[in-house]
Amino acid sequence: MIANRGEIALRAVRSCRALGLASVSVHSEADRAAPHVWLADQSICIGPATSTQSYLRADALLHVAKETGCDAVYPGYGFLSENAEFAAKCEAEGFVFVGPIAGTIRDMGDKSKAREIAMRFDVPVVPGSETAFVSATDAEAASKEVGYPLLLKARSGGGGRGMRVVNKAADFGTTFADASREAESAFGDGAVYLERYFEEVRHIEVQVFGDGAGNAIAMGERDCSVQRRHQKLIEEAPSPALASEVRERIITSAVDLAAGIGYRGAGTVEFILDPTTDEFFFIEMNTRIQVEHPVTEARVGLDLVDLQFRVAGGETLPNLASIIQPGGHAIEFRVNAEDWSNGFTPSPGRLKKWRPPTGQGVRFDSAAYEGYQVPPYYDSMIGKLIVHGKDREDALAKARVALDGFVVEGIETTAGFHRRLIDHPDFQNNRVHTRWVDIKAMKELT
């Protein structure tokens, strides 16, 4: 059963077909015309449009899995993919959860617990509080040891929700309350922990796979530093910010962590890098496939969704040394249904024209099509443009052609923003950081 929607659900159904697995898709009433509904062997409506009444209903999902005779559940990314309780229920009902075991999701989803685990395997962590807090008073006392500026981060979840920067002690109480309230609303957990805040850092993540028996491999790193309000916009590999020696150390740290916890399936170990000192620090582990996994696929030459199913089915990890890997440079652009020139406001609606780019070294992953009604109920991402070239310059040249030829009518998208951004001198010359879009690029591109 494919417990998701959109591009990742379509991708999973295709992988099932390629592997000879029967698939059951689920959909909300708003997604009746979605491609993952057509392509699956069976498709079941699980509720109204809103995700809380459909894709987030663990009981309904498990009922569908039982009634249709499924033996495995694929969570994709988002929704219940990092919900330890859902994974535990799948396990208890006898389903294979295509991902890590519930205990791993629970431990690594608790950011303060994940810090403790990382330190156990000598993975450097950002200086911060040893625990998470629900009391602003207790948290403020701990903030004196961390120092200012500091970063408040939700213990559960991600995507920038429950995250706030505090520049001075006078602002702590109000900012903590805002972060805790948002975390409670988004994840049902208002606990927040504290980290030292670095003004300008790169966001580096390492793609790992584990077999659940203590063996793990890494498939290189991705640079996800181009973000807006903690939401990734562009990802590329390899990172243009890493020296070879630093790359080796950061990848080794990721593998040590994944192997040490007996990780199973696809995961991402995330770090921040201080480019002035080449120091890197563990920030979290995402216990699922990432939106940006095609960047790694382009360079490694493996289908990572296919590999998720294979590993879940008990197959051994691939020997990367025996694979002819394409290498080169890959960049992914997240195409969202948003009006970027108007504060990135959502832009749902019907696609009157839809001509995604094609060409050598160009890939476009999407579940959208001409005539498709982009719903307003879910994440605004409607596609991912991935370009692959022999080096970064070649990849950017292909990206310019692809973005120039991308035809969309009926809604606004972020494609135009990406086209302008890649010509910005800072991006071309690798002078970006996680706050670059917010504090500089937005002002110069809009």
Residues recognised as catalytic: 288
pLDDT at 408: 98
Structure tokens at 275: 């480019």
pLDDT at 392: 98
pLDDT-derived band of residue 303, with 50, 70 and 90 as boundaries? very high
Asked whether the predicted pLDDT for residue 157 surpasses 80, the reply is no
pLDDT-derived band of residue 384, with 50, 70 and 90 as boundaries? very high
pLDDT at 370: 98
Instruction: Give kind and range of the element (H or E) at residue 331.
Output: strand 329-336
Q: What is the DSSP string of 201-267?
A: -EEEEEEEEEESSS-EEEEEEEEEEEEETTEEEEEEES-TT--HHHHHHHHHHHHHHHHHTT-EEEE
Average pLDDT along the chain: 96
Lowest mean pLDDT among 151-160, 347-356, 374-383: 151-160
pLDDT at 202: 97
pLDDT mean over 56-77:
98
pLDDT-derived band of residue 1, with 50, 70 and 90 as boundaries? very high
* Residue range 8-17, pLDDT digits in tens: 999 999 999 9
pLDDT at 3: 98
pLDDT-derived band of residue 199, with 50, 70 and 90 as boundaries? confident
Asked whether the predicted pLDDT for residue 158 surpasses 80, the reply is no
Global pTM value? 0.91
Give the chain's largest Cα–Cα span: 60
pLDDT at 167: 94
Asked whether the predicted pLDDT for residue 239 surpasses 90, the reply is yes
pLDDT at 131: 87
> With b meaning 16 or more CB within 10 Å and e meaning fewer, what string describes 35-47?
bbbebbeebbebb
pLDDT at 338: 98
Asked whether the predicted pLDDT for residue 446 surpasses 80, the reply is no
Ordered domains of the chain (ranges, CATH): 6-98 (3.40.50.20), 127-196 (3.30.1490.20), 202-445 (3.30.470.20)
pLDDT at 295: 98
For residue 159, what are the contacts with CB-CB under 8 A and spacing of at least 6?
230, 231
CB 65 within 8 A of CB 24: yes
pLDDT mean over 121-130:
91
Q: What percent of the chain is predicted at pLDDT more than 70?
A: 99
